Structure 1
Amino acid sequence: MHQPLISIIITILNGEKTLSHCLASIESQTFSDYELVIVDGGSKDRTVQIINESPILNKTIRVLPGIGLYAGLNAGIKLSVGKWLYFIGADDALSSPDILQKVSEIIKNIKNNIKVVVGSVECIKQGTLLQPMFGSPYWMRHQVHHQGMFYDRNIFNNSLYNETMRIASDYEFNLRLALIGIPHQAMDIVICNFGGDGISENQMEHGYKEMQKIHQQLFKGIGRHWAMNYFWLRRSMSAILRRYKLSKLSMGLKKVFG
């Protein structure tokens, strides 16, 4: 049985509005040595039909009603057979038709000890480019987007995503890798266009609480104090910026409509 270089893993629930765009970005790739693994949580819309109609030949779909996000990712990992694993959301898209080709060339030429390669992600609706800060010296300012990372599958032999978390399990997993000094390589390329609106305010608050618990567990002594304060500052600034953007929008509408 052929082992593809890359496994692309998607977890989805009722994603008919965006899935076709995501799949089209995969179908258009000039690189072909990949498999697509999709775990569906029991969609009630046309999601499964769209997947079945996709011309992608090497694909696996597993419908597991009621499965959560991170349980779905873990199921996808177990179903996959690729040498490197990549996770993408159903409302995201690969940045260009040759991006997997570029990544494959980098992977084939890296040192044998490299276990993670990471690139940038463009957040379309926020109008920002998220460049990775992974590993030393960025432990306290850890910033890396899940859709910008490719993992050696052996990383998951002894550890999977924490299924008790709703929002921040990928953050925890990546931070743990960074703290143990997992050999990694940064790529100066944009991997993915992140198309989602992001999480809701209620989900964001829950995510912040999960991240606080993660910092308490992983950092000790003065490192924990620094991490908690930096996290609080970043959270406060994010809230201010969100309100500022909303107030600017409100002011703009008043100017237009009176």
Structure 2
Amino acid sequence: VWGELKRLEQQLSQNRAASGDLVSRLKLLEEKLTQPKAPLTTELKPRLLASATDSRVSYSAERLDLLSPKSSAERLVFSFPQTSSAVEVLLPAGASEVEAASRLDRALRKEHIQARLNELGKLELSVPDQHRRKLDEPVLLSGEGIRIPAGNPVPVQFKPKAGQLTQLGEGLDKGELRQEQQRLKRLLGEIEQSVRELKQFRQKMVKQLDRVKARSQNLQQEELEQLQGKLSTQLKEGGFMGTMSGLLAQANVSRQSVVALLT
């Protein structure tokens, strides 16, 4: 990603427009590297360094007006077929867009969903990667009010927000050069910071590996079982994806040594 963006930066500095081919390459690159089991999150952060709560997927709600003030109070119910659960939101008469977004956020957090106003003042929902099916699948919306009249639930499909590289390509395609140059500069800085963090992470692992080689030789069976239990818990919490396989591939140590190292 960094290499592709550096080439794009050079191209834009020479006042050359981004070609349609480059825009397509950015989108394909993003799709390849940010799939659920791919190495990067949708924000182009390494999954290895991101905890389960840091890795979130964002969705736009532009097709559904949930923010504009209304003359009467409303009751909205979001039902999630995937988990057979539901939350209720009460919107007072005349509620501002900020207050409506805040009330939606408080209610939906019970389902691990955050609601906020994005930089354009539009409603945006986000959910941890492991719960993304809640918004990938249609949500049933019912209630009483102007937006959603009483009656049968209405299925609503939220649209996944375009990733950083796709947004960059789309902006350049529209001729928004100055805005996308700023995005490009920010992305390059974030990627370079991620590379530094990954190098620090690897150095830390190598140092711990040297220490664990000695102590792992004297592990008792009971102690090993305790370490394995702690490791299992940590892996479920996220942030260690790929670490064990990576260490086993890079170092001539036993699986027991790696288990001890990661705890």
Could you tell me the TM-score, scaled by structure 2's length?
0.28
Q: Which has the higher strand share?
A: 1
Larger Rg: 2
Q: Which has the higher helix share?
A: 2
